[in-house]
Structure 1
Protein backbone atom coordinates (compact mmCIF):
# COMPACT_ATOMS: atom_id res chain seq x y z
CA UNK A 1 0.00 0.00 0.00
CA UNK A 2 1.42 3.37 -0.88
CA UNK A 3 1.89 6.09 1.69
CA UNK A 4 -1.03 8.33 0.64
CA UNK A 5 -3.50 5.44 0.82
CA UNK A 6 -2.17 4.48 4.25
CA UNK A 7 -2.52 8.05 5.56
CA UNK A 8 -6.09 8.24 4.26
CA UNK A 9 -7.05 5.02 6.02
CA UNK A 10 -5.44 6.20 9.26
CA UNK A 11 -7.31 9.50 9.02
CA UNK A 12 -10.64 7.75 8.40
CA UNK A 13 -10.19 5.25 11.21
CA UNK A 14 -12.41 5.59 14.24
CA UNK A 15 -10.49 5.51 17.54
CA UNK A 16 -12.19 3.82 20.48
CA UNK A 17 -11.57 3.77 24.21
CA UNK A 18 -10.56 0.33 25.39
CA UNK A 19 -8.42 0.58 28.53
CA UNK A 20 -10.01 0.18 31.94
CA UNK A 21 -8.11 3.27 33.15
CA UNK A 22 -9.67 5.35 30.36
CA UNK A 23 -13.18 4.37 31.41
CA UNK A 24 -12.58 4.89 35.13
CA UNK A 25 -10.88 8.24 34.51
CA UNK A 26 -13.75 9.33 32.30
CA UNK A 27 -16.31 8.34 34.92
CA UNK A 28 -14.39 9.94 37.79
CA UNK A 29 -13.19 13.18 36.17
CA UNK A 30 -15.52 13.64 33.20
CA UNK A 31 -18.81 15.41 32.70
CA UNK A 32 -22.06 13.47 32.59
CA UNK A 33 -25.40 14.34 31.07
CA UNK A 34 -28.51 12.54 29.88
CA UNK A 35 -29.87 14.04 26.64
CA UNK A 36 -32.35 11.21 26.05
CA UNK A 37 -34.13 8.87 28.44
CA UNK A 38 -32.29 5.78 27.20
CA UNK A 39 -28.65 6.94 27.18
CA UNK A 40 -26.13 8.61 29.46
CA UNK A 41 -23.10 10.43 28.08
CA UNK A 42 -19.73 10.69 29.84
CA UNK A 43 -17.25 13.01 28.16
CA UNK A 44 -13.99 14.75 28.88
CA UNK A 45 -11.32 16.62 26.92
CA UNK A 46 -8.33 14.47 26.06
CA UNK A 47 -4.69 15.24 25.25
CA UNK A 48 -4.87 13.92 21.69
CA UNK A 49 -5.74 15.76 18.50
CA UNK A 50 -8.70 13.45 17.84
CA UNK A 51 -11.77 12.17 19.65
CA UNK A 52 -12.09 8.68 21.10
CA UNK A 53 -15.45 6.95 21.43
CA UNK A 54 -16.89 4.08 23.44
CA UNK A 55 -20.29 2.62 24.12
CA UNK A 56 -21.40 0.54 27.07
CA UNK A 57 -24.26 -1.82 26.25
CA UNK A 58 -24.93 -4.32 29.07
CA UNK A 59 -26.13 -7.78 28.08
CA UNK A 60 -29.37 -7.44 30.07
CA UNK A 61 -30.62 -4.70 27.72
CA UNK A 62 -31.39 -6.86 24.72
CA UNK A 63 -30.35 -9.86 22.70
CA UNK A 64 -26.96 -9.93 21.00
CA UNK A 65 -28.52 -9.08 17.65
CA UNK A 66 -30.04 -5.86 19.03
CA UNK A 67 -26.87 -4.92 20.94
CA UNK A 68 -24.81 -5.38 17.78
CA UNK A 69 -27.24 -3.18 15.86
CA UNK A 70 -26.81 -0.44 18.48
CA UNK A 71 -23.02 -0.74 18.23
CA UNK A 72 -23.19 -0.53 14.45
CA UNK A 73 -25.37 2.59 14.65
CA UNK A 74 -22.99 4.12 17.21
CA UNK A 75 -20.00 3.51 14.93
CA UNK A 76 -21.81 5.14 12.00
CA UNK A 77 -22.65 8.28 13.97
CA UNK A 78 -19.23 8.40 15.65
CA UNK A 79 -17.52 8.32 12.25
CA UNK A 80 -19.59 11.34 11.22
CA UNK A 81 -18.55 13.23 14.39
CA UNK A 82 -14.97 12.01 14.88
CA UNK A 83 -13.61 15.57 14.50
CA UNK A 84 -15.27 16.53 17.76
CA UNK A 85 -12.62 18.75 19.39
CA UNK A 86 -10.51 15.99 20.98
CA UNK A 87 -12.97 14.51 23.48
CA UNK A 88 -13.25 11.10 25.09
CA UNK A 89 -16.91 10.08 24.87
CA UNK A 90 -18.64 7.05 26.39
CA UNK A 91 -22.29 6.38 25.59
CA UNK A 92 -23.92 4.29 28.33
CA UNK A 93 -27.20 2.65 27.38
CA UNK A 94 -29.69 2.50 30.23
CA UNK A 95 -32.27 -0.13 31.16
CA UNK A 96 -35.64 0.48 29.53
CA UNK A 97 -38.95 -1.32 29.21
CA UNK A 98 -39.00 -4.70 27.53
CA UNK A 99 -38.46 -4.53 23.75
CA UNK A 100 -37.66 -0.78 23.83
CA UNK A 101 -34.36 -1.22 21.99
CA UNK A 102 -35.91 -3.78 19.65
CA UNK A 103 -38.50 -1.19 18.55
CA UNK A 104 -36.08 1.76 18.48
CA UNK A 105 -35.65 3.03 14.93
CA UNK A 106 -32.53 4.60 13.45
CA UNK A 107 -34.05 8.07 13.01
CA UNK A 108 -34.91 8.38 16.72
CA UNK A 109 -31.55 6.93 17.71
CA UNK A 110 -29.49 9.18 15.45
CA UNK A 111 -31.39 12.37 16.33
CA UNK A 112 -30.82 11.72 20.05
CA UNK A 113 -27.12 10.98 19.62
CA UNK A 114 -26.47 13.84 17.21
CA UNK A 115 -28.19 16.28 19.58
CA UNK A 116 -25.96 15.08 22.42
CA UNK A 117 -22.77 15.28 20.34
CA UNK A 118 -23.62 18.84 19.28
CA UNK A 119 -24.09 19.69 22.95
CA UNK A 120 -20.63 18.27 23.74
CA UNK A 121 -19.10 20.26 20.91
CA UNK A 122 -20.20 23.58 22.46
Structure 2
Protein backbone atom coordinates (compact mmCIF):
# COMPACT_ATOMS: atom_id res chain seq x y z
CA UNK A 1 0.00 0.00 0.00
CA UNK A 2 2.86 2.39 0.82
CA UNK A 3 4.33 1.86 -2.66
CA UNK A 4 1.01 2.77 -4.29
CA UNK A 5 0.70 5.99 -2.30
CA UNK A 6 4.31 6.97 -2.96
CA UNK A 7 3.92 6.28 -6.69
CA UNK A 8 0.40 7.66 -7.24
CA UNK A 9 -0.45 10.01 -4.41
CA UNK A 10 2.75 11.37 -2.90
CA UNK A 11 0.97 14.69 -2.34
CA UNK A 12 -1.40 12.95 0.07
CA UNK A 13 1.55 11.43 1.93
CA UNK A 14 3.26 14.83 2.03
CA UNK A 15 0.12 16.56 3.33
CA UNK A 16 -0.56 14.08 6.10
CA UNK A 17 3.09 13.91 7.10
CA UNK A 18 3.27 17.67 7.58
CA UNK A 19 -0.17 17.72 9.22
CA UNK A 20 1.25 15.28 11.76
CA UNK A 21 4.53 17.19 12.23
CA UNK A 22 2.87 20.59 12.65
CA UNK A 23 -0.47 19.64 14.15
CA UNK A 24 -0.24 16.55 16.32
CA UNK A 25 0.97 18.07 19.59
CA UNK A 26 -0.70 21.48 19.21
CA UNK A 27 -4.09 19.81 18.67
CA UNK A 28 -3.62 17.54 21.70
CA UNK A 29 -2.41 20.44 23.87
CA UNK A 30 -5.20 22.78 22.78
CA UNK A 31 -7.78 20.08 23.48
CA UNK A 32 -6.26 19.45 26.91
CA UNK A 33 -6.17 23.17 27.74
CA UNK A 34 -9.80 23.52 26.65
CA UNK A 35 -10.82 20.62 28.89
CA UNK A 36 -8.79 22.03 31.79
CA UNK A 37 -10.44 25.45 31.52
CA UNK A 38 -13.99 24.45 30.58
CA UNK A 39 -14.42 21.01 32.17
CA UNK A 40 -11.81 20.50 34.93
CA UNK A 41 -13.37 17.26 36.23
CA UNK A 42 -13.31 15.73 32.75
CA UNK A 43 -9.72 16.95 32.30
CA UNK A 44 -8.65 15.33 35.57
CA UNK A 45 -10.18 11.99 34.61
CA UNK A 46 -8.74 11.98 31.09
CA UNK A 47 -5.34 13.21 32.25
CA UNK A 48 -5.22 10.27 34.66
CA UNK A 49 -6.16 7.89 31.84
CA UNK A 50 -3.40 9.38 29.64
CA UNK A 51 -0.77 8.98 32.38
CA UNK A 52 -1.82 5.40 33.11
CA UNK A 53 -1.81 4.59 29.38
CA UNK A 54 1.66 6.10 28.97
CA UNK A 55 2.99 4.27 32.05
CA UNK A 56 1.69 0.91 30.88
CA UNK A 57 3.07 1.50 27.40
CA UNK A 58 6.54 2.39 28.69
CA UNK A 59 6.65 -0.82 30.74
CA UNK A 60 5.47 -2.88 27.76
CA UNK A 61 8.03 -1.19 25.54
CA UNK A 62 10.80 -2.18 27.95
CA UNK A 63 9.56 -5.77 27.93
CA UNK A 64 8.96 -5.95 24.17
CA UNK A 65 10.80 -3.24 22.20
CA UNK A 66 9.31 -1.95 18.98
CA UNK A 67 10.80 -0.34 15.92
CA UNK A 68 9.12 1.77 13.29
CA UNK A 69 8.18 -0.04 10.07
CA UNK A 70 10.25 2.51 8.14
CA UNK A 71 13.34 0.75 9.50
CA UNK A 72 12.38 -2.40 7.59
CA UNK A 73 13.78 -1.29 4.25
CA UNK A 74 14.74 -4.90 3.49
CA UNK A 75 11.01 -5.68 3.39
CA UNK A 76 10.29 -2.81 1.02
CA UNK A 77 9.19 -0.13 3.47
CA UNK A 78 10.28 3.41 2.60
CA UNK A 79 11.42 5.88 5.24
CA UNK A 80 9.07 8.73 4.36
CA UNK A 81 10.61 10.95 7.03
CA UNK A 82 13.71 11.23 4.86
CA UNK A 83 11.62 11.93 1.75
CA UNK A 84 9.07 14.38 3.13
CA UNK A 85 10.26 15.47 6.57
CA UNK A 86 12.23 18.43 7.82
CA UNK A 87 16.01 18.25 7.72
CA UNK A 88 16.14 18.39 11.51
CA UNK A 89 14.84 14.81 11.61
CA UNK A 90 18.05 13.70 9.91
CA UNK A 91 20.57 15.38 12.21
CA UNK A 92 21.99 14.27 15.52
CA UNK A 93 21.61 17.79 16.94
CA UNK A 94 17.83 17.51 17.09
CA UNK A 95 17.54 14.16 18.83
CA UNK A 96 16.35 15.84 22.03
CA UNK A 97 12.83 15.82 20.57
CA UNK A 98 13.00 12.94 18.14
CA UNK A 99 14.28 9.43 18.75
CA UNK A 100 14.55 7.68 15.36
CA UNK A 101 14.86 4.21 16.86
CA UNK A 102 11.62 3.87 18.80
CA UNK A 103 8.01 3.72 17.75
CA UNK A 104 4.87 3.39 19.77
CA UNK A 105 2.11 3.80 17.19
CA UNK A 106 -0.46 2.89 19.81
CA UNK A 107 0.38 6.09 21.70
CA UNK A 108 0.04 8.09 18.49
CA UNK A 109 -3.59 6.97 18.50
CA UNK A 110 -4.16 6.78 22.26
CA UNK A 111 -3.44 10.40 23.17
CA UNK A 112 -5.69 12.01 20.52
CA UNK A 113 -8.39 9.43 21.30
CA UNK A 114 -8.28 10.29 25.01
CA UNK A 115 -8.58 14.01 24.21
CA UNK A 116 -11.41 13.39 21.71
CA UNK A 117 -13.34 11.29 24.21
CA UNK A 118 -12.97 14.09 26.72
CA UNK A 119 -14.28 16.62 24.22
CA UNK A 120 -17.22 14.41 23.21
TM-score (norm 2): 0.29
Higher strand share: 1
TM-score (norm 1): 0.29
